[in-house]
Structure 1
Amino acid sequence: MNSPSFWLDSLGPIEKRPPLAGDLDADVAIAGGGYTGLWTAYYLAKADPSKRIVILEAEFCGFGASGRNGGWASGLFPVSEAKLARRFGPDAAAAMHHALADTVDEVGRVAAAEGIDCDYAKGGTLSLVRSTVQLRRAQGDPGFITADRARAICHATDVLGGVYSEHCAALHPAKLVRGLAATVENLGVTIHEGTRAEQIKTGQINTMRGTVHAPTIVRALEGYTAGLAGHRRDIAPVYSLMIVTEPLPEEFWQRVGLARRETFTDERRLVIYGQRTADDRLAFGGRGAPYHFGSKIRPEYDLVPEVFEALRATITELFGIDPPIAYRWGGPLGIPRDWMPSVGLRHGIAWAGGYVGDGVAAANLAGRTLADLILGVDSDLTRLPWVGHRSRRWEPEPARWLGINVGLRATALLDAIDRRRAA
């Protein structure tokens, strides 16, 4: 594999755009060429074609989570509506979740309008209930469905019910991010790849290749935020890993279903996630890889054999097959201390991120919101509760390393206890 994921590799060789070649002036300078930075540039360029917008990307557009994720454009938000309601009020909480649900359709709308063929299929998402312990937890959810209805969508083993939401689409994440990069270029946005942002200050982004000066700076680095000077404790880069099978035979899909390419998970605590790809593979991922001391991000951390084996074993447990695995990969996602994503603009510096792994749709909503904030537009988006939120910083090391990894182990232990109770 020549690139960081199956998704990227499936597109063939990627040629980097030219790097920054000295100092540059712009109206808006964006650090980060993933979904957040690209969506922000897209909506800004659509609203005001005269703006000089520059994107700086350390590797190539989609190198990070935008080109490696599970391909769920979902209405999921890492903070529950009940918790949002307690903090911001029920109207604000409902508005946040409705905005994300609508964003699933917005991603599909833009992809169709701009000719970005990203295998978008809005089949919804199903969380399978597969033990009596999970059943007791899930029955109070408004999306709860019976075992027969759940099996009609996804015929996995030991299904006792499910929790279904229509607000999710499966897609090919690299096709989306690379197509979006080409689209914003056609709108007049300048992209410099191979140009790492090393420091962000009011009015400028500093790189080894020069400085971009702009009255508005956007930080859109997600899990890579910790590598930026002065931001090591803002976002914790925690790894998620994935595998994808070879294309599976029609008889498998006749038995299992996922006929509308519904995304799927189950009610365990340690997150797993899967989709049926457009070419009939199973793309499947999950948490469990360790957090690395000092928020370090290195290529070798993408590959954890025991996690890959656990993912393969989970596919066997779910579907009764031992499929040929075609690709294995991983990468960091961004987690704020309170698990609350945020969007904001202060003193000429804008930011968005901390999506906790649910960023495919949320980044689009963030991009639209940032565009309104930068243009000074007072809208429903700029009044959402995540706007202006500032999470407290993560603890210094070694407390950060201990806390995050103990939390990961505890989550896995609770799942093991649930399995024993259900046996």
Structure 2
Amino acid sequence: MNKPFKTPLAAYDPHYDPLVSDGPGRNRDYAPTYWSATAGAPPEDDGAITRDIDTEVAIVGSGFTGLACAAFLAREHGIKPLVLEANRVAWGCSTRNGGQGQNASGRLTRSQWIERWGLDVAKRLHAEIRDGFETFEDMIRQSPIDCEPQRGGHLYIAHRKRNLDKIAAEAKVLTDVFGEPTRVIGVDELRRDYLDEAEAVGAVLEPLGTGVHPAKLAFGYQQMARAAGAKIHPGSPVIEITNQRGAFHLRTPGGTVKARAVGIATGAYTAPGMTRLLRGRCMPILSNSIVTRPLTAAELEATGFKTRLVLTDTRVLRFYYRLLPDNRVQIGS
């Protein structure tokens, strides 16, 4: 049996800028995050591309999106896709995020959906978001790797009376119109039962919210995709995608992959020259996150943490934070 070809691991480059750099590198190590340091050894993969190869579907990018796409194609459609990754599996955002899954709807509120597009469209949008969250929960339950889920909902904390009034009104819409039992929590209840947030004036508790160890979840997706028949090739950056005679040709340093269809799941780490279809379409957003050492019992009491729900606030530059299973506090913005 031939073993997968392993290219030498390159050092992580903190200076990579997807808007100006030639590409994210080849087989670079993970960013030195808490998640990558505590996820354990990455699962087996299929090694770098070393020759020209044909496949029905090629997926560029091995984060949550690429790996989940590969798993669903293989399990539900009988398509055994080939996943191409420039660096290590789940090297980008999937091992660098806050690990919070919510009933998120973007910048517009559901009231604004109704105002702009009508109730029927708004309800269909909500159903799509709800379906996505339920799929996320299904993947957590199916994952062969324990990703330390913290369930129970999402606490949306207001720091101004006008912000509380706004999210309280949206909570009523979520409950009455969309059937999501969402409730307003007063400042006394918040400090007594959840956390002693000094600047908070109240909060809204949404029923859908789950925190995870994102790198462990990504590794679980990786195992699920390969078990279903997908091939995952790290150390294989796609330099260029061209369409020749009805087939896509994805050029990598080790060989060209010929595919009938291509899925691009690279997020903000997309190399600018990979395909003209994405030129000018990526807008990287900076997010910073830190994780403390485990807090002592006295420190937990002093900080007022009594909940392990996922937390965000209503500031313009929003903070997201939570108490992790090992009593560290993770906070980002």
Task: Give the TM-score category using the shorter length.
Answer: 0.7 to 0.9
Paired residue for 1:148?
188
1:36 aligns with 2:76: no
Displacement of 1:15 after TM fit? 7.8
CA distance in 2, matches of 1:135, 1:48: 46
Displacement of 1:75 after TM fit? 1.5
1:54 aligns with 2:82: yes
Displacement of 1:181 after TM fit? 0.6
Which gives a bigger RCO, structure 1 or 2 (Cα 8 Å, sep 6+)? 2
Identity among equivalent positions (%) equals 28
Bigger Cα displacement from structure 2, 230-239 vs 104-113: 104-113
1:116 aligns with 2:145: yes
CA distance in 1, matches of 2:130, 2:300: 28
Paired residue for 1:257?
305
Matches within 5 A, 1:246-395: 246-254=293-301, 256-259=304-307, 261-286=308-333
Cα separation, partners in 2 of 1:254 and 1:105, compared to 1, 3 Å: farther
Give the structure with the larger helix fraction. 1
Paired residue for 1:3?
30
Displacement of 1:120 after TM fit? 1.1
Does the CA-based 8 Å contact 2:43-2:222 persist in structure 1? Answer: no
Displacement of 1:139 after TM fit? 4.0
Does the CA-based 8 Å contact 1:34-1:64 persist in structure 2? Answer: yes
CA distance in 2, matches of 1:235, 1:165: 31
1:221 aligns with 2:266: yes
Does the CA-based 8 Å contact 1:28-1:54 persist in structure 2? Answer: yes
CA distance in 1, matches of 2:99, 2:224: 20
Paired residue for 1:183?
224
Task: Output the amino acid matched with 1:277.
Answer: L
Q: Can you list the C-alpha shifts for 1:391-417, whole angstroms capped at 9, x where unaligned? A: xxxxxxxxxxxxxxxxxxxxxxxxxxx
CA distance in 2, matches of 1:68, 1:117: 18
Paired residue for 1:307?
none
Displacement of 1:265 after TM fit? 1.7
CA distance in 1, matches of 2:130, 2:301: 30
CA distance in 1, matches of 2:230, 2:154: 34
CA distance in 2, matches of 1:224, 1:83: 31
- Structure 2 unaligned segments of length 5 or more: list them: 1-11, 13-28, 172-181
Displacement of 1:33 after TM fit? 0.2
Paired residue for 1:72?
100
Displacement of 1:268 after TM fit? 0.8
Task: Output the amino acid matched with 1:264.
Answer: L
Paired residue for 1:245?
292
Does the CA-based 8 Å contact 2:144-2:223 persist in structure 1? Answer: no
- The Cα RMSD (Å) is 2.3
CA distance in 1, matches of 2:165, 2:126: 24
Does the CA-based 8 Å contact 2:305-2:323 persist in structure 1? Answer: no
TM-score (norm 1): 0.62
CA distance in 2, matches of 1:139, 1:73: 21
1:27 aligns with 2:68: no
CA distance in 2, matches of 1:91, 1:141: 17
Does the CA-based 8 Å contact 2:61-2:85 persist in structure 1? Answer: yes
Partner SS for 1:239: coil
1:103 aligns with 2:129: no
Q: Can you list the C-alpha shifts for 1:269-296, whole angstroms capped at 9, x where unaligned? A: 112111221211111111xxxxxxxxxx
Cα separation, partners in 2 of 1:85 and 1:133, compared to 1, 3 Å: closer
CA distance in 2, matches of 1:270, 1:20: 41
Cα separation, partners in 2 of 1:47 and 1:257, compared to 1, 3 Å: same
Displacement of 1:3 after TM fit? 3.3
Q: Please, which of 209, 216, 236 is the counterpart of residue 168 of structure 1? A: 209
CA distance in 2, matches of 1:199, 1:134: 47
CA distance in 2, matches of 1:98, 1:250: 41
TM-score (norm 2): 0.78
